[in-house]
Amino acid sequence: MIHERSIADLIAARAAGELSAEAVVDAYLARIDRHGDTLNALITRTPEAARARAAEIDGALAGALAGLPIIHKDIFCTQGVKTSCGSRMLDNFVAPYDATVVERLTTAGAVTLAKANMDEFAMGSSNENSFYGAVKNPWNTDYVPGGSSGGSAAAVAAGLAPAATGTDTGGSIRQPAALSGVTGIKPTYGRVSRYGMIAFASSLDQGGCFARSAEDCAHVLAAMAGFDGRDSTSVEADVPDYAGQLTGDITGLTIGLPREYFAEGLEAGSREAVMAAIDEMKALGANVVEIDMPHTDLAVSTYYVIAPAEASSNLARFDGVRYGYRCADPVDLDDLYNRSRAEGFGPEVQRRIMIGAYVLSAGYYDAYYLKAQKTRRLIAGDFHAAFDQVDLIAAPVTQAPAFPIGEKADDPVAMYLNDVYTLPASLAGVPGMSVPAGFVDGLPVGLQLIAPWFEEGRLLNAGHAYQQATSWHTRRPPGFE
């Protein structure tokens, strides 16, 4: 069946004339019609535009991803399509242009099927903070898929598309990839353009992708990545042929296990699955050593000062005046501002704006924000020191598998701790990836791999080698085969 084929297979079949773009797109649109409402993974569907685009591609084969269906996280501006960022604030916003990520994937021949549900303004770890309701995990629809890119992860896991885009600020690609049983990669900060990607925390936000395997991610990331003069944080560096670097050989690769990531808090089932995955990589020829990353325990507090501070600044533009939600019948300008923001933003976004405004305020800037930036430098230093000793770092993605919807909704601190293993890499700007590594009580567990800056090829090859030797990434959730 078409939805069971890898991206490499679909590309090859399309190039050989064995499959038309229209046939592939129609197959995935049929799956969206069948399963889309079950998971609440999608906000906006674009079937007519997708079929028209597929017909164009069939008329003139072009692009490395010609005819490949894709779903975009609803944080990426998509011309002529609602781009809501999961928020009431932007429920009526139709983007007048394409984000660079959307533009590049479209140029490569990808066909947009839909926009994925997400935590509002990418703030969340469970995809319960969306204005459009919680996304459900296809492995158990009573459980969360992870967040904030939960809609993208759930869609790929359920076979609604072979690939989806996402963003990772503190773990929002790797964490839902782990909880939903798919592969997800966050590249180096600056590798993928942020132009047209609605900002949460500008020094942390980074676009990436989800797919079934590391090999599939390699094809999509190669089309997304590259310098963009419209993004001041974009890095001018050549993009390798990631798929061409997938030798599957990791003989002699040195992998570091940070002691701090395997300490108290990691549940036994997840630890067992991750260690089994590491043993498999040892069997493939990798060397494994323990390393120290002494500032890991500061990552959560550091992130939850820096990210809200940047969010409070970025979200100041949503004031009910220029675009987005506006309250009804304001009595004056102050009322317009106050009610538009209070009614347009959800509780988690309001919480983070208030925290951010506080840590940036006079008298507290030095005590909180400046100190957090200094601590961030120490965390980055841990990675510099680690990569002087090892080629890759392996670690858990989460402390435990997915949890029931609503279980942590009233405990923000417990929710924030879900990202304890993903935050350090985000603060340092290094690339990280989650690959499926087993199950605990029927729910997926991910293995996190972290590489030095701009070594996404090394990361993808290690994941590919592991996936050549295992079958976790080929499993399908019951009912979504």
> From residue 284, how far is each of 62, 147, 248, 289, 468 by CA, in Å?
37, 32, 9, 15, 10
Q: What CA–CA distance (Å, rounded) separates 182 from 153?
A: 7
The sign of the CA dihedral 31, 32, 35, 39 is positive
Q: What CA–CA distance (Å, rounded) separates 397 from 443?
A: 14
CA neighbor of 198 nearest in space, from 340, 97, 49, 302: 97
Cβ within 8 Å of residue 458, ≥6 positions away:
245, 391, 392, 451, 452
Cβ within 8 Å of residue 331, ≥6 positions away:
none
Q: What tokens were used for 380? A: 């980055």
Catalytic residue among 130, 152, 172, 270: 172
Q: What CA–CA distance (Å, rounded) separates 183 from 212?
A: 6
Cβ within 8 Å of residue 20, ≥6 positions away:
14, 54, 58, 67
Q: What CA–CA distance (Å, rounded) separates 129 from 36?
A: 19
Rg of the chain in Å (alpha carbons): 21
Which residue has tokens 């300008």? 333
Catalytic residue among 73, 115, 136, 186: 73
Burial class (CB in 10 A: 0-12, 13-18, 19+), 217: buried
73 is catalytic: yes
148 is catalytic: yes
Burial class (CB in 10 A: 0-12, 13-18, 19+), 112: buried
Residue 357: CB atoms within 10 A of its CB come to 16
Type of residue numbered 295? H
Catalytic residue among 84, 87, 125, 148: 148
Residue 44: CB atoms within 10 A of its CB come to 18
Q: What CA–CA distance (Å, rounded) separates 401 from 4?
A: 25
By the 8 A CB rule, do 113 and 29 touch?
Answer: yes
**What kind and span of H or E run contains 314?**
helix 299-314
Q: What CA–CA distance (Å, rounded) separates 470 from 338?
A: 54
424-443 b/e with 16+ CB inside 10 Å = b? Answer: bbbbbbbbbbbbbbbbbeeb
The residues assigned a catalytic role are: 73, 148, 172
